[in-house]
Amino acid sequence: MDVQTLVAQHGGSCRWADLSPAVTRTALNPAVSEGSVRRIARGRYTLPSVVEARAAALRVAGTASHTTAALHWGWGVKHEPAMPHVTLPRGRKLRDSARDGIVRHWRTLAESDVAEGWVTTPARTVIDCCLDLPFDEALAVADSAWRAGLSPLEVRDLALTLPARSRRRVSRVLRHVDRGAANPFESVLRALCLQVEGLSVVTQHEVRDRGFFAQVDLADPGLRIVIEAEGFEHHGTREGLRRDCRRYTGLAARGWVVVRFTWEEVMIQPEYVVAAVQATVEQRRPTATTRVLAS
């Protein structure tokens, strides 16, 4: 897998620790040199759109926002935006030539909503994603923001200043934010699980037994279902295969059913994922126990 694709699958912004299981420095350095991947801080890499976004925002006297701002703050997103997201004050007129190459949003921002003179603040970025993006995309951004240390209280305080309808839209996302999601891949998978009737998942669930331990991406302890987001970088070696076989055999031996999904399935074939998980829930219901036998 090429470096740019791997960074994209980590949400467009990631650390060297995320890349190192699958790529070497020998492969990374040329990607940085040619500009297909940008190093924005020590051990932190992102896609070129982050660097280009600042110029686009300043060109139209707007503010980089939404997933463009999320990438600037080092957060992961479901998809790298094809064009920079730029927020413009309501009533601003743009020449036809200036409209090209950006995704325009119309919202008058307070001075306190803008950082560094060109990008929305972290809290405002989360709010805008909740207001304007599909639920799974907004959840991926919010999970990543929480994981990076943004205070939930800061976002909730800002949400209280919004009209009631906007507050409800933001609250729907904030109810489900979980910093336990390791990356946007897992966030989007969890968003799909929320569509499944009768399923209640938790992140990073630990299954412990004598001589056995597994921490899984998502689990419904009542139904004893494990749902895994399978990234190539952790399972593409002989040692990875051996470890996986032991892990999933151990879970099955302890009464857990494991369903596994690839990045392409979660991001491109969500209907398949929802249908597969729903079918698994329906199969487990007759024998499920309400007791958590492994915590």
Q: What is the pLDDT of residues 23-56, one digit of tens each?
A: 888 888 888 888 888 887 788 888 777 777 888 8
pLDDT of residue 213: 95
Residue 17, pLDDT above cutoff 90: no
- 172, 142 Cβ separation under 8 angstroms: no
Per-residue confidence band for 128, with pLDDT thresholds at 50, 70 and 90: very high
Per-residue confidence band for 295, with pLDDT thresholds at 50, 70 and 90: very low
How far apart (Å, rounded) are the C-alpha atoms in residues 259 and 114?
43
pLDDT of residue 270: 97
- 185, 228 Cβ separation under 8 angstroms: no
Mean of per-residue pLDDT scores for the chain = 89
Per-residue confidence band for 232, with pLDDT thresholds at 50, 70 and 90: low
pTM for the predicted model, two decimal places? 0.83
- With H, G, I as helix, E, B as strand and everything else as coil, classify residue 121: coil
The share of the chain scoring above pLDDT 90, in percent, equals 61
How far apart (Å, rounded) are the C-alpha atoms in residues 126 and 29?
32
pLDDT of residue 44: 83
How far apart (Å, rounded) are the C-alpha atoms in residues 38 and 283?
46
pLDDT of residue 292: 46
How far apart (Å, rounded) are the C-alpha atoms in residues 124 and 158?
8
The strand pair at 119-120 and 85-88 is best described as unpaired
Average pLDDT over residues 79-106: 86
Domain ranges of the chain: 1-47, 48-174, 184-287
Query: Where is pLDDT greater, at 212 or 234?
Result: 212
- With H, G, I as helix, E, B as strand and everything else as coil, classify residue 187: helix
Within its chain, how far is the Cα of 94 from the centroid? Answer: 32
How far apart (Å, rounded) are the C-alpha atoms in residues 45 and 171?
31
Look at residues 126, 133, 117 and name the one whose alpha carbon lies nearest to residue 157.
126
Average pLDDT over residues 123-132: 98
Q: What is the pLDDT of residues 140-186, one digit of tens each?
A: 999 999 999 999 999 999 999 999 999 999 999 999 999 999 999 99
CATH 3.40.960.10 correct for 184-287? yes
